[in-house]
A and B are shown apart, each in its own frame.
Chain A
Amino acid sequence: MIINFIQWSKKSLFSNWWNSLITLFCIYLLFLIIPPFINWAILDATFSGKLKTDCTAGGACWVFIRVWFEKLMYGFYPVENIWRINLSFIIFIGTIGLSFFVREKYKLYILFFLIFIFPFIAFILIRGGFGLTIVETREWGGLALTFILAIFGIILSFPLGVLLAMGRRSEMPIIKYFCICFIETWRGIPLITVLFAAAVMFPLLLPSGTLVDKLLRVAIGIAIFESAYVAEVVRGGLQSLPRGQYDAAKSIGMGYWQMNFFIVLPQAIKTVIPGITNTFIALLKDTPLIYLIGMAEILGIVNMAKANPYWLGMAVEGYVFAAIIFGVVSFILSSYSQKLEKKFSTENK
């Protein structure tokens, strides 16, 4: 065992003087970073208490996360109604989990449910109505708001993205060039300008007196922005489909829409799932930008807490907390999409 280790380290760590130097440098780097971080985050940290003054050990003050946990997660959403947000997320994750266990045939129904039915259920659950007390959207916030916007954004952008991808491959020139311009324009501008436009410019374009909720405007903006990216991913899927599939569909007398709905899209959508997952990860990392147009998203709550006289300067703990959550979620999603990509690439060979 030990001999094995020595042999291995000779081969992969100390094979020549240059490699040994690099190894020593790496060890030094790790030594510089890891012990202080562990000291700060665990050994010197304070975990119990109720106030900032309880944190006297000099390390991280996790008390802050404990006290502010509900705010960081749900913003100013009424505490007694938090179960409604949780229920929507459970439905979402449960439906996706279910899709791993059902037969191929039913997966399309699940996709249909997620795109066309789930948004309404979740919206009614979270916002209220139909007997549930109404929670105004300005009370939504925290990490939940980020996830709500990202999930709604990707779901709403999906149908539009598919249509745009089909339009870009269309033989009708006006439709084709419109789709190209639309996609390239949205891909060429930063999300933040879209958010500014949704927050400030869009109300000017509607008849005076019409009030569209700010969150809704932002969600629409994000969905349109994202649809351009989804369209490019779907186009890749459409292009990867062998020509024979199109020819076969046409030769049994199918029209354009029949061919696309029954033959092309079901196969294409399957191959673009990894790409869509990557788009979703990118969107999830971009959504915290809504903080810049004044929404109480998790970074907004941290920055607010930092200015609170009782919790002055609690930025690091808040950022580390947010970083861990974002890191874990996008790491899980990206390893899933990589696994899927590998599976598809071997399936097709």
Chain B
Amino acid sequence: MFRIDEIKNSLKKNLQLGNLVPQFLLLFVLFFIVYYFTSNAQTNMAARNISSGFGFLQTNSGFDVQFSLIDYDGSYSFGRAYLVGLLNTLLVSSFGIVFATILGFLVGVARLSNNFLLSKLSQLYVEILRNLPLILQIFFWYFVVLRNLPSTENSFIFLDFLIVNVQGAYFPKFIFTNFNAIFYGLVCALLTIFFAQYYSKKLIYERGKSLPIFKISILCLILFTTIFSLIGNTDLQLQQAELIQNFGIFNYVGGVKLVPEFLALLFALSLYTSTFIAENVRAGILSVGKGQKEASKSLGFNNSQSLKLIIIPQALRVIIPPTTNQYLNLLKNSSLAAGIGYPDLASVFAGTALSQTGKAIEIIFIVMLTYLSISLIISAFLNWYNHKIAFIEK
């Protein structure tokens, strides 16, 4: 009964003239603006002989990009070019997120260290890197650091594994034969770990005993993959990049090549974002009261148990929401790639493809929509995760 009254009241309130007029006014103004812009756009496009619509996505792009995860050259379509840009954006963002998180945690913990020098140094790191414009840092890495690496003939070679020179970094390519076996091994290992976790939870609730689940997981992974690869006759070969001289010009061919644009963007993004994550981590750890640590000690938890079961879960509640924002910022900031010509979504599609086709409205619309939907997906996922670990208050 009460509920119906409430709804009635709110309906009455919403149907008042004073409330309806501004809302319809807003709708009207919005409609007018959209109509005004679209009609102008139509006349302008007609005057410039640009056809509207998304049909151009199927036509040949006619431009090449220098770094792509999938097969691509000028004979592929604009749709394919979009995919190349999107994959490059996702590549640099996902690596950046991983590195920024690791670095941010290390620096955040280091800022709280008892060691005076270490905590001051980490503070300096944070204060310097987060106060400088990101584009400046990208330029610095690209034009100053990576351009001054040794030439191809005199490359740094680390342990016959990593080759670094002015053209980029080369890793050996992993070539597996009978990779399927390892894959099945991984699946089996994951299933076993899943069941072990389930069992250990049950054990804790029923008998109060705990299993060393982390060690079991590692053991499972190693054991299963080795056994399966032995049975399946898997073989791994490293294909190293080779130095080849062609018309007096040295070049490395083969292997996995990371272009300097990618490296510069990755370094700058991870260092810049790590400073913000470090601040979040510091605030999160400080937010856990001293009493919590003392209480866990008095309950007989050892240091690692109290960290794992008491401190970190509570700190994470404070750390995760702002860190989510930093991940989204990193994704959006990866569009600064346009400054050094790394072929990400913004620079391939909103840069090159736009200047080739002149379809500004469609392309900007697609690019904005893509960034928006990736942002929304990531934030929805992290909201869900945050909700899962959030403290349940009564």
Provide 23 A-B residue pairs closer than 8 Å at the C-beta atoms, listed in order of the A residue. A12-B114, A22-B115, A30-B121, A171-B13, A172-B19, A174-B27, A178-B30, A188-B376, A189-B332, A193-B335, A196-B364, A204-B360, A207-B43, A208-B40, A286-B133, A288-B135, A299-B136, A303-B139, A319-B139, A326-B131, A326-B132, A331-B131, A334-B131
Task: Tell me the smallest distance from the CB of B254 to a CB of chain A, in Å.
Answer: 32
Q: Given A174-B26, A193-B371, answer yes or no on A200-B364 (Cβ-Cβ < 8 Å).
A: yes
Task: Tell me the smallest distance from the CB of B394 to a CB of chain A, in Å.
Answer: 22
Complex-state Cα separation, A287 to B135, whole angstroms: 10
Q: Cβ of A172 and Cβ of B368 under 8 Å apart?
A: no
Task: Tell me the smallest distance from the CB of B289 to a CB of chain A, in Å.
Answer: 17
Complex-state Cα separation, A331 to B131, whole angstroms: 6
Complex-state Cα separation, A172 to B24, whole angstroms: 11
A96: chain B residues within 8 A (beta carbon): none
Q: Tell me if A249 is interfacial: C-beta within 8 Å of chain B.
A: no
A212: chain B residues within 8 A (beta carbon): none
Q: Cβ of B376 and Cβ of A291 under 8 Å apart?
A: no
Q: Given A19-B114, A175-B22, answer yes or no on A190-B332 (Cβ-Cβ < 8 Å).
A: yes
Q: Cβ of B117 and Cβ of A26 under 8 Å apart?
A: yes
B30: chain A residues within 8 A (beta carbon): 178
Chain A residue nearest to B134 (CB atoms) is A285
Instruction: Name B's A-contacting residues (CB within 8 A).
Output: 13-14, 19, 22-24, 26-27, 30, 37, 40-41, 43-45, 47, 113-118, 121, 127-128, 131-136, 139-140, 143-144, 328, 332-333, 335-336, 338-339, 346, 350-351, 354, 360-361, 364, 367-368, 371-372, 375-376
Q: Cβ of B128 and Cβ of A327 under 8 Å apart?
A: yes
Q: How many residues of A contact B (CB 8 A)?
A: 56
B135: chain A residues within 8 A (beta carbon): 288-289, 291-292, 299
Q: Cβ of B333 and Cβ of A190 under 8 Å apart?
A: yes
Chain A residue nearest to B362 (CB atoms) is A201
Q: Tell me if A160 is interfacial: C-beta within 8 Å of chain B.
A: no
Q: Cβ of B14 and Cβ of A173 under 8 Å apart?
A: yes
Q: Cβ of B131 and Cβ of A22 under 8 Å apart?
A: no
Interface residues of A in 283-340 (CB under 8 A from B): 284-289, 291-292, 299, 303, 306, 315-316, 319, 322-323, 326-327, 330-331, 334
Complex-state Cα separation, A27 to B116, whole angstroms: 12
Q: Tell me if A254 is interfacial: C-beta within 8 Å of chain B.
A: no
Q: Cβ of B132 and Cβ of A285 under 8 Å apart?
A: yes
Q: Cβ of B371 and Cβ of A174 under 8 Å apart?
A: no
Q: Given A188-B372, A190-B371, answer yes or no on A327-B350 (Cβ-Cβ < 8 Å).
A: no
Complex-state Cα separation, A322 to B136, whole angstroms: 8
Cβ 8 A contact of A208, one of B43, B127, B335, B346:
B43
Q: Cβ of B118 and Cβ of A192 under 8 Å apart?
A: no
B113: chain A residues within 8 A (beta carbon): 22
Chain B residue nearest to A30 (CB atoms) is B121
A29: chain B residues within 8 A (beta carbon): 121
A13: chain B residues within 8 A (beta carbon): 115-117
Q: Cβ of A326 and Cβ of B133 under 8 Å apart?
A: yes
Q: Tell me if A48 is interfacial: C-beta within 8 Å of chain B.
A: no
A189: chain B residues within 8 A (beta carbon): 332, 368, 371-372, 375
Task: Tell me the smallest distance from the CB of A315 to a CB of chain B, in Å.
Answer: 5
Q: Tell me if A205 is interfacial: C-beta within 8 Å of chain B.
A: yes
Q: Given A185-B372, A285-B132, answer yes or no on A292-B115 (Cβ-Cβ < 8 Å).
A: no
Complex-state Cα separation, A319 to B367, whole angstroms: 30
Further pairs besides A197-B360, A205-B361: 17, Cβ < 8 Å = A26-B117, A171-B13, A171-B19, A172-B23, A188-B372, A193-B335, A200-B360, A201-B361, A204-B44, A205-B40, A208-B47, A285-B134, A289-B135, A292-B135, A292-B336, A319-B144, A327-B128
Q: Cβ of B360 and Cβ of A23 under 8 Å apart?
A: no
Interface residues of A in 232-247 (CB under 8 A from B): none
Q: Cβ of A315 and Cβ of B143 under 8 Å apart?
A: yes
Complex-state Cα separation, A150 to B47, whole angstroms: 36
Q: Cβ of B372 and Cβ of A315 under 8 Å apart?
A: no
Q: Cβ of A323 and Cβ of B143 under 8 Å apart?
A: no
Q: Tell me if A39 is interfacial: C-beta within 8 Å of chain B.
A: no
Q: Cβ of A196 and Cβ of B346 under 8 Å apart?
A: yes
Q: Cβ of A331 and Cβ of B127 under 8 Å apart?
A: yes
B22: chain A residues within 8 A (beta carbon): 172, 175
Cβ 8 A contact of B354, one of A196, A205, A289:
A196
Task: Tell me the smallest distance from the CB of B120 to a CB of chain A, in Å.
Answer: 9
Q: Tell me if A258 is interfacial: C-beta within 8 Å of chain B.
A: no
B361: chain A residues within 8 A (beta carbon): 201, 204-205
Q: Tell me if A206 is interfacial: C-beta within 8 Å of chain B.
A: yes
Interface residues of A in 5-38 (CB under 8 A from B): 12-13, 15, 19, 22-23, 26-27, 29-30
A323: chain B residues within 8 A (beta carbon): 132, 136, 140
Q: Name the residue in A22, A172, A315, A334 with the highest tally of chain B Cβ atoms < 10 Å from its Cβ.
A: A172
Q: Cβ of A201 and Cβ of B23 under 8 Å apart?
A: no
Q: Cβ of B144 and Cβ of A316 under 8 Å apart?
A: yes
A331: chain B residues within 8 A (beta carbon): 127, 131
Chain B residue nearest to A302 (CB atoms) is B139
Q: Cβ of B37 and Cβ of A205 under 8 Å apart?
A: yes
B118: chain A residues within 8 A (beta carbon): 22-23, 26
B133: chain A residues within 8 A (beta carbon): 284-288, 322, 326
Complex-state Cα separation, A191 to B121, whole angstroms: 32
Q: Cβ of B367 and Cβ of A204 under 8 Å apart?
A: no
A12: chain B residues within 8 A (beta carbon): 114-116
B13: chain A residues within 8 A (beta carbon): 171
Complex-state Cα separation, A203 to B13, whole angstroms: 42
